[in-house]
Amino acid sequence: MSEKQKNSETFKFATTVAPDKKAMAIQMPGMSEPLVMDAIQLSQVIEHLGAVRVAMEPAIPAVDLQPGTRVSPDPAVRWQVAESPQSGLFQLFLLHPGFGWLSISLGEEALEKIAKFGRMFLRGMPSIH
């Protein structure tokens, strides 16, 4: 397995991915053996850990994005918009390559803001014919 070391000031662990990319292993301090998981198991762990993080304090601040804020560099491979089951809302779905589909419910004000910035962006682009 190829190894990638993940270090922080307070927590160290190592992850490895099998050559066939069908399994991974994680080794953390205090573990006598690495934990080996396939992609489905890893996705389940990631989903569970995300839910656990939501329940923890301090919460991730719900503030506007500022210049220099760390953002995941992984682009959404796909996106989709659908009407939300909640009246007056729509859902923006983003496919993140590590987390799967993410959903954000947005109201009319958010949709208008997205449309406004989209129009501004398109006006600044050269025409492609």
Task: Note the pLDDT tens digit of each residue in 17-39.
Answer: 999 999 999 999 999 999 999 99
**Claim to verify: residue 6 and residue 40 sit in the same structural domain:** yes
| Segment 58-71, tens digit of pLDDT | 998 888 888 988 88
Give the chain's length.
Answer: 129
The pLDDT of residue 129 is: 45
Q: Which of 103, 82, 84 is nearest to 94 (CA)?
A: 103
Residue 46 falls inside a structural domain? yes
Q: Which helix (H) or strand (E) holds 119?
A: helix 108-123
Residue 35 falls inside a structural domain? yes
> Which of 38, 54, 70 is the last residue before a domain boundary?
54
User: What 3 state SS string does 34-68 have?
Assistant: CEEEEHHHHHHHHHHHHHHHHCCCCCCCCCCCCCC
pTM above 0.85, yes or no: no
> Which of 54, 70, 94 is the last residue before a domain boundary?
54
Q: Report the number of distinct structural domains present in the chain.
A: 2
Instruction: For residue 124, give both structure tokens.
Output: 């600044």
**Claim to verify: residue 49 and residue 86 sit in the same structural domain:** no
Residue 66 falls inside a structural domain? no
The pLDDT of residue 124 is: 83
Q: Given a cut of 60, is residue 7 above it in pLDDT?
A: no
Residue 100 falls inside a structural domain? yes
**Claim to verify: residue 89 and residue 49 sit in the same structural domain:** no
Residue 15 · residue 1 · CB < 8 Å:
no
| Segment 61-103, tens digit of pLDDT | 888 888 988 887 777 678 899 988 888 899 999 988 888 889 9
pLDDT level of residue 54 (50, 70, 90 thresholds): very high
Residue 129 falls inside a structural domain? no
Domain of residue 102: give its range: 79-123
**Claim to verify: residue 50 and residue 7 sit in the same structural domain:** yes
